[in-house]
A and B are shown apart, each in its own frame.
Chain A
Amino acid sequence: MAKEPVADALHRARNEPDQFERFYDEYAEELLTFVARRVYDVDTAVDLMAEVFARALLKCRSFRGKTDAEARGWLYSIATHEIADYFRRSKVEHRAVQRLAMQVRRPSEEDHERIIELAGLRELRGAVRQELGHLSSEQEQAVRLRIIDELPYEEIAEALGISQQAARARVARGLKSLATVLEKYRPTLKEGLA
């Protein structure tokens, strides 16, 4: 028996909230992987993933597509916007999560490790190390400390003699600058699926 298209479930979710679960289950894991591969940080990826689905829930009435490809494209357009916003502001805006009064706790150490494996973050971090030469020295230092050495922002700020906000901004802008270069290391969405 053929599975019902996810797009239909998303349409029905407007009046039948339980239908949204089908949409979530279809794309949650791959979206988390997608986001983690772009922000290189598990906690940030979890926050962004929750914000993306919260925003999708709030906006599901605006979805006009008919196919699963359109449903996925719609979700990923929201995700791309949120990731761009994250890089611009150097932090995750939790507007939709807060509006829905959702609680998003920190992932466990076990989950941290699982997400790193799923997203291939170790390999991607190796790629970042190889491509750091494309960055300014300021950004290279910050990105190296955060992505390669995995230091918290507090320690990065202290090491570089700058504020935490400045440290976040340098890392975010450095990764944004590397995004195009690093595309060649990332598998396509299709290859990333189970």
Chain B
Amino acid sequence: MNGIGADRPDRPQIIDEIRAEVMSAARRRPTGRLAWLRGVPRRLSLPLAIALALPVGAGIAVASGSLSKDAPSVSHPVYELAIDDGGPPMQGVGPGGVVGYLDLGTGELINCPDGNPLTRKYGERQPICPDGTTPARYVEQEAAWEQFLGEQENSATPEPPENGPNFQVNLRDR
């Protein structure tokens, strides 16, 4: 069909709006080697992440007050790390399960603005806070995780997922 687009209308404004969103996302993403890994040899990153998820991480979380075994009565469920369930520290969530997300830089759970851990229950596609927001630290680390997976897809010698910056941990409703 000749002549399509021959008299070009003005550029749609939505293109500029999407550009702004794309570039905002681009600038939020970690660049080069993942920031939290700087100074940490890659071969140590997995043990480090596991150490953060296991009792050291739980201890830090309890000591910091983000988790408390003796919490006063609250209107929301209180979670504790499932550190003794016999399974690996980071795995998918099954029926009845709940996952939380670690800030890989601090070892503490990523929290929502109301102070509760960001979580995802079985059957939910994405974690989201009660106020509808998603913590920036989650977005940043999820992008890094997605990037790692993408690199392995196109690599001749892909690394197993457990070598990547997975930051999901099992929680258990108390």
Query: Which A residues lie at the B interface, using CB under 8 A?
Result: 13-18, 20-21, 24-25, 28-29, 32-33, 46, 49-50, 53-54, 57-59, 61-62, 64, 96, 98-105, 107-108, 110-111, 113-115, 117-120, 123-124, 127, 185-187, 192, 194
Q: Are B19 and A100 in contact (CB under 8 A)?
A: no
Task: Name the contact of A54 in the complex, choosing from B8, B25, B28 (C-beta under 8 A).
Answer: B25
* A115 nearest CB neighbor, chain B only: B12
Given A29-B15, A58-B150, A186-B1: A114 in contact with B9 (beta carbons within 8 A): yes
Output the residue of B15, B19, B27, B126 with the most chain A CB within 10 A: B15
B154 at the interface (CB under 8 A from A): yes
Q: Are B150 and A107 in contact (CB under 8 A)?
A: no
Type the 1/0 row for B4-18, where 1 means its CB is closer than 8 Å to any CB of A: 110011111111011
Task: Name the contact of A99 in the complex, choosing from B9, B10, B17, B142 (C-beta under 8 A).
Answer: B142
Chain B residues positioned under 8 Å from A107 (CB to CB):
12-14
Query: Which B residues lie at the A interface, using CB under 8 A?
Result: 1-2, 4-5, 8-15, 17-19, 21-29, 31-32, 126, 134, 136, 139, 142-143, 146-147, 150-151, 153-154
CA distance A119 to B13 in the complex (A): 15
Task: Name the contact of B23 in the complex, choosing from A24, A113, A118 (C-beta under 8 A).
Answer: A24
* A30 nearest CB neighbor, chain B only: B5
Q: Are A59 and B19 in contact (CB under 8 A)?
A: no
Expressed in whole angstroms, the minimum distance between the Cβ of B40 and any Cβ of chain A is 19
* B17 nearest CB neighbor, chain A only: A105
The 7 closest A-B pairs by CB, nearest first: A120-B4, A100-B25, A17-B26, A62-B154, A111-B12, A102-B21, A107-B14
Output the residue of B28, B134, B147 with the most chain A CB within 10 A: B147
* A127 nearest CB neighbor, chain B only: B1
Q: Are A17 and B27 in contact (CB under 8 A)?
A: yes
Q: Are A28 and B15 in contact (CB under 8 A)?
A: yes
Q: Are A192 and B4 in contact (CB under 8 A)?
A: yes
Expressed in whole angstroms, the minimum distance between the Cβ of B151 and any Cβ of chain A is 6
CA distance A194 to B6 in the complex (A): 8
Expressed in whole angstroms, the minimum distance between the Cβ of B5 and any Cβ of chain A is 6
Q: Are B26 and A20 in contact (CB under 8 A)?
A: yes
Chain A residues positioned under 8 Å from B13 (CB to CB):
107-108, 110-111
Chain A residues positioned under 8 Å from B5 (CB to CB):
33, 117-120, 187, 192, 194
Chain A residues positioned under 8 Å from B19 (CB to CB):
21, 24-25, 28
* B154 nearest CB neighbor, chain A only: A62
Expressed in whole angstroms, the minimum distance between the Cβ of B10 and any Cβ of chain A is 6
CA distance A25 to B143 in the complex (A): 22
Q: Are A13 and B14 in contact (CB under 8 A)?
A: no
Expressed in whole angstroms, the minimum distance between the Cβ of A108 and any Cβ of chain B is 7
CA distance A188 to B34 in the complex (A): 41
Chain B residues positioned under 8 Å from A16 (CB to CB):
31
Q: Are A57 and B22 in contact (CB under 8 A)?
A: yes
